[in-house]
Structure 1
Amino acid sequence: MDLRVTRARVQSAAADDLHRRLFVLLVGLLLLAVMMGAQAAHARGAPDSFADLAEKLSPAVVNISTTQIVSGSGGEDGGDEEGQVPMPQFPPGSPFEELFKDFLERQGQGQGKPEPRKVQSLGSGFVIDPSGVIVTNNHVIQDAEEITVTLADGTKLPAELRGHDPKTDVAVLIVKPSKPLPFVNFGDSDKARVGDWVLAIGNPFGLGGSVSAGIISARNRDINAGPYDDFIQTDAAINRGNSGGPLFDMDGNVIGINTAIYSPSGGSVGIGFSIPSALAQQVVAQLREFGETRRGWLGVRIQSVSDEIAESLNLDKARGALVAGVDDKGPAAVAGIVAGDVILTFDGKPVPDMRTLPRIVAETKIGNTVPVVVWHDGKEKTVQVKVGQLDETAIADASGSGHKGGAAPTKTQVVLGLTLSPLTDELRGKNNVPDDVKGVVVTDVAESSAAAEKGIRPGDVIVEVAQAKVETPAQIAEKVKAEKDAGHKSVLFLVSRAGDLRFVALRVDK
C-alpha cells in the first residue's frame, strides 16, 4: 500500500515538473515571437500603399514660378538661351537656310540685338510655418524679378524673398495667406539609413503636384556643387521642376530638399540628390532670423591627407584635414595651429576627411571656444579655438613670412626630377611669384617623375621640405637625403603657386 502511494506521488511530481517545463517553453516562444514582431515592425517593409501619406503631405507642397528679364542673342546659333529657337543645320546654300534665317530675324533672333524679354521658370517648395514661410532651392528663385507661389488648392500668392544661400542652394520665401497654411516639419536626416523608403513630392516639368517613391540609395554624396556637399542620394524619380521640393521619410517628416539629378538625357534615371535636413534646417533658421547665413570660421586653408602625406607625417593612416595655410589674424593662428598640422577632431566631432571640416566649422556657433585635436610634430595636441564669423566676401591671406627678394645665388640642382633654382628677383617677376613668398623656384619638371604626376610644374615655389623652411636647392637636397636615410618612403613638400599653398608628398624610396 505504501509503495503504491509513493509511486503516485513520484508520478505526480514528475507531471508537475513537465508542466512547469512546458510553461517556461511556451513563455519563451511567446517572447521570441514578440521580439521578432518588433524587429519586423522596426524594419518597416514596403507599405501596401503610399496614398494616405501622400494625401496628408501634398497640401503643404507648393509650386513656384519666377519671372526675370533677360536680353542677348543666346549665342551664334540662337539656341543657347532658354526660349530661343535653335538654327537647324542645312546644307550650305540650301534655300531652307535662307528661309529659316528670315524667320528668325522676324522673330528678333537675327543679326540685330533682340529686345529684352520675360523668361519664366518653374520649381517646387514646401511650407514649414502656417503663417506662410516656404523653403525652396536658391537656384529656383535666383535673379527672379517676380516670384509667385501656387498652393495645392490653386491659390496664387506673390512671394517675398526672405534670404538665400548659394553655397547650400537653400532659399526662404514669405507669403501672406488669408488663413493658416498646411505645413510640414523637418525630420532628422542623420537617422536615415541607406535602404529606407522615401517619398518625393514636387512639380516636375510644370505638370503640378506629383508624387514619386523610392529608397535612399547612398549618403554623404559629394557632387562638387559647393563647399558643404553632403547629399542624400535617392532613386525616387526627380525631374526638372522638382527642385526645391521635399523628400519625406515614412513618418511624414522632411529629411531632404530635392536639388539635383544625374542624367545624361535630362530626365530621371534614378539618381537624384537632396540636401539633408540636418544641414538645411540650420541654414533655414538663420535665413529666417537674419536674412543671411552666419557661419563659423577657423581661418585655415586645407587639403586632403593622402597615404603618402600620412606616412611622411608618421600618421597612422590617411585621415583628417591637412592645414596648408593659416590666416595670420584668424582663430586658428591665435590658438597656435600652424601649416603642416592635421586637424583630427573639431569640437569633439571626428574629421575623417578634408571635406568634413568646413561643414563642422560652419555649423559651430560663432563665439564658442571649442577643443580641436591636431596632429603636430608626430603626436596629438589639443588646442582651444574661439570660433570666428566667416566673411563670405573675404579672402584669407595665409601667405609666408613676409620676406622680400631672392636668396643668395647658389648652384641649380635636380632633386626627385625637379630642377631647382634660387628665387631671384628675375625669376620672381618671370613666374609672378608674390613678394611675400620665400623659397626655391622650380624651373623644370621631368615628365616621368613623381613630381610631375603630383602636378608640380615650372614656376612653383617650394617653401618647406619636411616641415622645415628652405631657401636654397642645396637645403632641399639635404632634407630629401635625410628623410631617405631615416627610412621614410616619402617626403612632404609645401608648394606655393601664385600665393596659394598646398602640401605634396613625393616618394623618395624609389
Structure 2
Amino acid sequence: MTRRRCGVWSMLGGAALVLSTIGPAGALPPAPAAAGAGLGPSLALTPVFMVGEEGVLTLAPTLEIVTPAVVNIAVKATVAARPNPLLSDPLFRQFFGVPPGAEGPRERTVVSAGSGVIVDAVRGTILTNHHVVDGAEDITVTLKDRRVLKATLLGSDPGTDIAVLRVKADRLTALHLADSDRAQVGDLTIAIGNPFGLGQTVTTGVISAKGRSGVIPDGYEDFLQTDASINPGNSGGALVNSRGDLVGINTAILSSGGGSVGIGFAIPSNIARAVMEQILKDGTVRRGHLGVSIQTVSPAVAESLGLPRAAGVIIAAVERGSTAEKVGLRTGDVILAVDGRPSETAEVLRRQIGLAQIGDRVRLTVMREGKSFDLQARIGS
C-alpha cells in the first residue's frame, strides 16, 4: 500500500474488489439495454433492488451477474532491498568479520495484489490501476470461478493511474462503461473487491462528490468521491452504478489509519475509457497540448473582466509556434469551455486538453474584451 502526503492519501493496493448495499424504500426502475460500446458482450441489467424471500429487498440477483467481471490481480516484481545500515559501516563489518559483498541481497522479489475489471469479454480486456501493475514482471489474473490466467500488460498511464491488461479465455463476463459525466451526487454506488485479502466483498453507498483533485501529484484528476466502503485491496476495482454499469475504477482513499473512513475516490469511467482507447490504439498515452500558460480566474479577475462569476481559465502566456498561437489565442483571453464542457479551473482545462487525442479538433469557447466567441483548434503534442 502506497501512502501519499504523510499517510493521509492511501493508494488501495490489495486484491479484488468491493460491493456494498444501502437499500432504498422501493425497487429501482428497470435499466435500458446496455450496448457494449464496441467492447464485446456486456451486461444489461434489470432493477438492482428486487424483492426476495419474505419480502426482503436484495441486490443478490444483480450481483450474481456483475461480480464475475471483477477479478483479482497478483503481481510479482523485483524491488531494491533495503540494506542493513549497520552492514554499511566498514568498522562494523570488520569487527564482526563480514566479508565484502556479504551485506545481503541488493534486490528482493515481492508479490502484491489488486483488482481489475473486465470491460471486453471477447478480447479479454481488463482495466486496473497503474500503481497495481507498476514494475510488474509477472501478472496473474484470478476469475471469480477460480480460473487462473496469465495477463499481458498492454500499456499503463501514471498520470491517470490507469493500466490495461489482456487475458486469453472464453466465457468471460464484461461490464458496460457508463457515461460518468451523467453521474450525479446522490447516485447509488456499489464497490466490489477483496479488502485485506478477505475475498470478494460488496459494499454500497452513494456518490458523495464529483470533480475531486489533489490525490495524485501532477495527475489528470476528476475523481468521483464515494462513501461506499473501500479499503486496501480494492485498487483497480469496480465502482458500479444502480444499473450495474461501471462508473469508476477505485483508486485511493482518505484515511489516517489505512482503513475506510467513508471517503474513497474512483477514476471516472469516461477518463478510463479515453486512456484505454489510446493504449489500445498506440500502446501508450500521448498528452494533448495547446501551448499556453494558464491560471484559474479569481473573483478579482472575474470582476475586472466583467464575468458573471469566478469561473474559467485566463491565459497568462502563449508559446511561439504553438497551436494556441496559430488559432489566434492571446494573453488575457479567458477560456470558458472545451467542446461545450465548462472549463471551470486550470486543472479542468489541463485535463480536457491532456486527455484529448493528438490531432483531434476541439471547440474552444473564449471570452475577449467582454465578448464570447468560439475557436476551432487542433490538439498538438
Q: Give the TM-score normalised by the residue count of structure 1.
A: 0.58
Report the counterpart of residue 164 of structure 1 in structure 2.
Answer: 156
Work out which of the residue numbers 52, 70, 73 in structure 2 matches 1:64: 73
In structure 1, distance between residues paired with 2:345 and 2:84? 42
Deviation digits for residues 266-302 of structure 1, max 9, x if unmatched?
0111111011112211211221222112443211121
Report the counterpart of residue 238 of structure 2 in structure 1.
Answer: 246
Deviation digits for residues 308-328 of structure 1, max 9, x if unmatched?
222344434322111122221
Using the TM superposition, give the Cα deviation of residue 212 of structure 1 relative to its aligned residue in structure 2, in angstroms.
1.2
After superposition, residues 346-365 of structure 1 pair within 5 angstroms as 346-365=338-357
In structure 2, distance between residues paired with 1:345 and 1:308? 20
Using the TM superposition, give the Cα deviation of residue 168 of structure 1 relative to its aligned residue in structure 2, in angstroms.
0.8
Structure 2 unmatched runs, 5+: 1-25, 31-46, 51-56, 97-101
8 Å CA contact retained: 2:27, 2:49: no
Report the counterpart of residue 17 of structure 2 in structure 1.
Answer: none
Using the TM superposition, give the Cα deviation of residue 349 of structure 1 relative to its aligned residue in structure 2, in angstroms.
2.7
In structure 2, distance between residues paired with 1:196 and 1:46? 14
Using the TM superposition, give the Cα deviation of residue 75 of structure 1 relative to its aligned residue in structure 2, in angstroms.
8.2
After superposition, residues 114-263 of structure 1 pair within 5 angstroms as 114-130=105-121, 131-177=123-169, 179-225=170-216, 226-263=218-255
Matched residue count: 323
8 Å CA contact retained: 1:367, 1:386: no
Using the TM superposition, give the Cα deviation of residue 374 of structure 1 relative to its aligned residue in structure 2, in angstroms.
2.4
RMSD of aligned C-alpha atoms? Answer: 3.0
In structure 2, distance between residues paired with 1:133 and 1:365? 21
8 Å CA contact retained: 1:150, 1:156: yes
Letter in structure 2 aligned against 1:264: S
8 Å CA contact retained: 2:364, 2:377: no
- Ranked by relative contact order (alpha carbons within 8 Å, sequence separation 6 or more), the top structure is 2
Q: Give the TM-score normalised by the residue count of structure 2.
A: 0.77
Q: Is 1:384 aligned with 2:375?
A: yes
In structure 1, distance between residues paired with 2:73 and 2:350? 31
8 Å CA contact retained: 1:294, 1:389: no
Report the counterpart of residue 322 of structure 1 in structure 2.
Answer: 314
In structure 2, the CA distance between the partners of 1:125 and 1:369, relative to structure 1 (3 Å rule), is closer
In structure 1, distance between residues paired with 2:325 and 2:310? 24
In structure 2, distance between residues paired with 1:77 and 1:188? 56
State the secondary structure of the residue aligned to 2:181: helix
In structure 2, distance between residues paired with 1:344 and 1:58? 41
In structure 2, distance between residues paired with 1:260 and 1:389? 31
In structure 2, the CA distance between the partners of 1:215 and 1:142, relative to structure 1 (3 Å rule), is same
In structure 2, distance between residues paired with 1:160 and 1:40? 39
Deviation digits for residues 374-394 of structure 1, max 9, x if unmatched?
233x3225353432233xxxx
In structure 1, distance between residues paired with 2:344 and 2:282? 32
In structure 1, distance between residues paired with 2:138 and 2:268? 28
Using the TM superposition, give the Cα deviation of residue 363 of structure 1 relative to its aligned residue in structure 2, in angstroms.
4.4
Structure 1 unmatched runs, 5+: 1-37, 79-100, 106-110, 391-510
8 Å CA contact retained: 2:84, 2:103: no
Deviation digits for residues 227-275 of structure 1, max 9, x if unmatched?
4211111111111110001111121110110010001010111111011
In structure 2, distance between residues paired with 1:134 and 1:74? 37
8 Å CA contact retained: 1:344, 1:351: yes
Name which of structure 1's ranges 224-233 and 194-203 shifts more when overlaid on structure 2. 224-233
8 Å CA contact retained: 2:311, 2:343: yes
Report the counterpart of residue 58 of structure 2 in structure 1.
Answer: 49
Bigger radius of gyration: 1
In structure 1, distance between residues paired with 2:258 and 2:86? 21
In structure 1, distance between residues paired with 2:27 and 2:124? 40
In structure 2, the CA distance between the partners of 1:320 and 1:366, relative to structure 1 (3 Å rule), is same
State the secondary structure of the residue aligned to 2:280: helix
